[in-house]
Amino acid sequence: ELKVEQNPLFLSMQEGKNYTIYCNYSTTSDRLYWYRQDPGKSLESLFVLLSNGAVKQEGRLMASLDTKARLSTLHITAAVHDLSATYFCAVTPFSGNEKLTFGTGTRLTIIP
Protein backbone atom coordinates (compact mmCIF):
# COMPACT_ATOMS: atom_id res chain seq x y z
CA GLU A 1 0.00 0.00 0.00
CA LEU A 2 1.36 3.38 -1.01
CA LYS A 3 1.86 5.78 1.88
CA VAL A 4 2.66 9.47 1.51
CA GLU A 5 3.96 11.44 4.49
CA GLN A 6 4.40 15.16 4.68
CA ASN A 7 6.21 17.15 7.29
CA PRO A 8 5.78 19.34 9.01
CA LEU A 9 2.00 19.20 9.37
CA PHE A 10 1.88 22.78 10.58
CA LEU A 11 4.33 25.51 9.79
CA SER A 12 4.26 29.07 11.02
CA MET A 13 6.93 31.29 9.59
CA GLN A 14 7.78 34.94 9.36
CA GLU A 15 7.62 36.92 6.18
CA GLY A 16 10.93 37.04 4.38
CA LYS A 17 12.19 33.68 5.69
CA ASN A 18 12.93 30.52 3.74
CA TYR A 19 11.58 27.09 4.53
CA THR A 20 11.09 23.63 3.06
CA ILE A 21 8.19 21.18 3.16
CA TYR A 22 9.07 17.52 2.77
CA CYS A 23 7.07 14.76 1.09
CA ASN A 24 8.18 11.13 1.49
CA TYR A 25 6.46 8.22 -0.22
CA SER A 26 6.75 4.51 0.29
CA THR A 27 6.85 2.92 -3.16
CA THR A 28 8.41 3.43 -6.56
CA SER A 29 6.94 6.39 -8.38
CA ASP A 30 8.04 8.87 -10.98
CA ARG A 31 5.03 11.15 -10.94
CA LEU A 32 4.52 13.55 -8.10
CA TYR A 33 2.10 16.46 -7.85
CA TRP A 34 1.93 19.48 -5.56
CA TYR A 35 -1.37 21.21 -4.85
CA ARG A 36 -2.35 24.29 -2.89
CA GLN A 37 -5.61 24.73 -0.98
CA ASP A 38 -6.79 28.05 0.44
CA PRO A 39 -9.21 27.94 3.40
CA GLY A 40 -12.69 27.01 2.25
CA LYS A 41 -11.54 26.56 -1.32
CA SER A 42 -10.68 23.64 -3.55
CA LEU A 43 -7.28 22.35 -4.62
CA GLU A 44 -5.23 24.17 -7.20
CA SER A 45 -2.47 22.40 -9.10
CA LEU A 46 0.99 23.88 -8.55
CA PHE A 47 3.57 21.49 -9.99
CA VAL A 48 3.86 18.17 -11.78
CA LEU A 49 7.23 16.42 -11.38
CA LEU A 50 7.85 13.58 -13.80
CA SER A 51 11.41 12.34 -13.40
CA ASN A 52 14.30 11.95 -11.02
CA GLY A 53 15.98 15.30 -10.51
CA ALA A 54 13.04 17.28 -11.87
CA VAL A 55 12.86 20.83 -10.58
CA LYS A 56 10.03 23.29 -11.20
CA GLN A 57 9.79 26.90 -10.03
CA GLU A 58 6.96 29.38 -9.91
CA GLY A 59 7.55 32.66 -8.14
CA ARG A 60 8.73 32.00 -4.60
CA LEU A 61 7.97 28.27 -4.75
CA MET A 62 10.33 25.62 -6.04
CA ALA A 63 9.61 21.89 -6.11
CA SER A 64 12.06 19.06 -6.68
CA LEU A 65 11.91 15.27 -6.94
CA ASP A 66 14.42 12.59 -5.94
CA THR A 67 12.91 9.27 -6.97
CA LYS A 68 15.79 7.25 -5.52
CA ALA A 69 15.21 8.73 -2.06
CA ARG A 70 11.41 8.74 -2.66
CA LEU A 71 11.40 12.36 -1.59
CA SER A 72 10.02 15.61 -2.93
CA THR A 73 10.57 19.03 -1.45
CA LEU A 74 8.67 22.27 -1.78
CA HIS A 75 10.94 25.19 -1.00
CA ILE A 76 9.57 28.60 -0.11
CA THR A 77 11.86 31.57 -0.64
CA ALA A 78 11.36 34.91 1.15
CA ALA A 79 7.83 34.02 2.22
CA VAL A 80 4.99 36.50 1.81
CA HIS A 81 1.55 36.46 3.40
CA ASP A 82 -0.15 35.40 0.15
CA LEU A 83 1.54 32.02 0.41
CA SER A 84 -0.46 31.11 3.53
CA ALA A 85 -2.39 27.96 2.56
CA THR A 86 -2.37 24.20 2.95
CA TYR A 87 0.00 22.40 0.60
CA PHE A 88 -0.51 18.78 -0.44
CA CYS A 89 1.76 16.43 -2.30
CA ALA A 90 0.28 13.46 -4.16
CA VAL A 91 1.89 10.46 -5.81
CA THR A 92 0.92 8.07 -8.60
CA PRO A 93 2.45 4.59 -8.32
CA PHE A 94 4.87 3.48 -11.02
CA SER A 95 2.42 0.82 -12.20
CA GLY A 96 0.66 3.35 -14.39
CA ASN A 97 -2.54 3.46 -12.37
CA GLU A 98 -3.72 7.05 -12.32
CA LYS A 99 -4.97 7.00 -8.77
CA LEU A 100 -3.40 9.71 -6.65
CA THR A 101 -2.46 9.07 -3.05
CA PHE A 102 -2.29 12.30 -1.08
CA GLY A 103 -0.21 13.33 1.89
CA THR A 104 -2.02 14.75 4.90
CA GLY A 105 -1.07 18.30 3.96
CA THR A 106 1.07 21.05 5.47
CA ARG A 107 -0.77 24.06 6.78
CA LEU A 108 1.48 27.05 6.22
CA THR A 109 0.88 30.34 8.00
CA ILE A 110 3.02 33.35 7.14
CA ILE A 111 3.25 35.88 9.92
CA PRO A 112 4.01 39.54 9.14
In the 8-state DSSP scheme, what is residue 81? Answer: G
Angle at 104 between CA 5 and CA 110, to 5 degrees: 105
Does 41 help bind other proteins (rule: CB under 8 A)? yes
Q: Which stretch binds other proteins (CB under 8 A): 16-24, 39-47, 55-63, 65-73?
A: 39-47
Measured CA distances, 108 to 12, 13, 52, 55, 102 (Å): 6, 8, 26, 21, 17
Minimum distance, C-beta of residue 12 to other proteins, in the bound complex (Å): 17
**Quick check: 74 and 62 in contact, CB under 8 A?**
yes
Does 12 help bind other proteins (rule: CB under 8 A)? no
Q: Contact with other proteins (CB under 8 A): which of 83, 92, 93, 108?
A: 92
Does 109 help bind other proteins (rule: CB under 8 A)? no
Size of the site for other proteins (CB under 8 A): 25
- Interactions with other proteins, residue window 49-88 (CB under 8 A): 50-51, 88
Measured CA distances, 52 to 64, 68, 100, 106 (Å): 9, 7, 18, 23
Q: How far apart, in whole angstroms, are the C-alpha atoms of residue 106 and residue 6?
A: 7
Minimum distance, C-beta of residue 45 to other proteins, in the bound complex (Å): 6
Q: Which residues bind other proteins (CB under 8 A)?
A: 4, 9, 30-31, 33, 35, 41-45, 48, 50-51, 88, 90, 92, 98-105
